Amino acid sequence: MRNFLIIIVSLSVVIGSAWFFSQNDGPVEINYFSGQVEWRLHWVMIFCFVCGFGIGIASVIGSLLKAKLQLRNIRSKLDRQEKELNSLRSLPIKDDY
């Protein structure tokens, strides 16, 4: 049931976006530092969406790589401490009473 609901919502978003893009096809003038360009509005919106998606994915990948590095460091520290503990357990107990 959940998958069916996800498919229905996704399909309605795609249809709504297509309808929205078809209604907004007027030319838009974009001014930037070294000049200007004229594009259709739906291409500007798609370009902004793709750029935002790329920046979001890059930030998520950066966070994941940082977490993996921290996990690797913590695991290596745990391995060293386990080796030390095992070596201490194998030492004979000496009584100095």
The pLDDT tens digits of the residues spanning 25-59 come to 889 998 988 889 999 888 888 888 899 999 999 99
The pLDDT tens digits of the residues spanning 56-91 come to 999 999 999 999 999 999 999 999 999 999 888 887
Would you say residue 8 has pLDDT above 90? yes
Would you say residue 97 has pLDDT above 70? no
User: pTM for the full model?
Assistant: 0.57
The DSSP annotation for 21-81 comes to HHH---EEEEEETTEEEEEEHHHHHHHHHHHHHHHHHHHHHHHHHHHHHHHHHHHHHHHHH
* Domain boundaries, given as residue ranges, for the chain: 20-87
